[in-house]
Chains A and B, each alone.
Chain A
Amino acid sequence: EVQLVQSGAEVKKPGESLKISCKASGYSFSSYWIAWVRQMPGQGLEWMGLIYPADSDTKYSPSFEGQVTISVDKSLRTAYLQWSSLKASDTAMYFCARPRLNDLLTGCPFWGQGTLVTVSS
């Protein structure tokens, strides 16, 4: 069974750094892209970026390029999303997701449970 388990909720202050995780199980981790999606309070879904664990090829949405870093640790079967300096506007729920196929066209049937990040002074 494919499972994506995300790290727990975080409360941080502006300017602090943060790294959240998404641990995969039940499939060949290196063989499938992992996506990160942001959902700000009361808002819709925004794609942030993708990473291919086999070679760490990473694609960012223009809206998030330079604002976050996506990485993986293949030995831990874990993908990460990190910030070097958080802003209040980073307050959101963050989801990781795995597409059905590696052509990325047929959607993401597998999702983590979400990590709530709250940034407040």
Chain B
Amino acid sequence: DIQMTQSPSSLSASVGDRVTITCQASQDISNYLNWYQQKPGKAPKLLIYDAFNLETGVPSRFSGSGSGTDFTFTISSLQPEDIATYYCQHYDNLPPMYTFGQGTKLEIK
């Protein structure tokens, strides 16, 4: 089974800062890596799919990169409304399994 290792588990940053979260797969997953934002009490929201494609309506300060085993999620200029927990996620066919990273809780400094 493919394991997804996300870091850091928590992060404190100031408004306007550039924020980076990483996700590492235990084996090559090409670019099949998605990123979600979850605010307390709400359903996750898909921000990035296929490593770097921005979901419709998502602000351009969010971006993703990477392929193979190493992926990065970036917020170019942190806004107060970005306070949330972020998850990476991959789907594997063999065996069928959605795997989420452990999550990164982002707080304002």
Which residues of A are interface residues toward B (Cβ below 8 A)?
Answer: 35, 37, 44-47, 50, 59, 61-62, 95, 97, 99-100, 104-109, 111-114
- Bitwise, B68-109 to A at CB < 8 A (1) or not (0) is 000000000000000001010101010111111111000000
Given contacts A44-B87, A112-B43, A114-B43, contact A106 B100 (CB under 8 A): no
B100 contacts A47, C-beta separation under 8 Å: yes
Q: Which chain A residues lie closer than 8 Å to B46 at the CB level? A: 100, 107-109
Would you call the interface of chain A mostly helix, strand, loop, or mixed? loop
Given contacts A95-B43, A104-B91, A114-B43, contact A47 B98 (CB under 8 A): yes
Q: Closest chain B residue to A105 by CB distance?
A: B32
Number of interface residues of B (CB under 8 A): 27
B98 contacts A105, C-beta separation under 8 Å: no
Q: Which chain B residues lie closer than 8 Å to A107 at the CB level? A: 34, 36, 46, 49, 89
B49 in complex: contacting residue of A37, A50, A106, A113, CB < 8 Å: A106
B55 contacts A109, C-beta separation under 8 Å: yes
Query: How far is A113 from B53 in the complex, measured between Cα atoms in Å?
Result: 24
Q: Which chain B residues lie closer than 8 Å to A61 at the CB level? A: 97-98
Q: Which chain B residues lie closer than 8 Å to A95 at the CB level? A: 43-44
B100 contacts A113, C-beta separation under 8 Å: no
B97 contacts A106, C-beta separation under 8 Å: no
CB-based closest 10 A-B pairs: A107-B34, A47-B98, A111-B43, A59-B96, A107-B49, A45-B100, A109-B46, A44-B103, A106-B49, A104-B91
B87 contacts A45, C-beta separation under 8 Å: yes
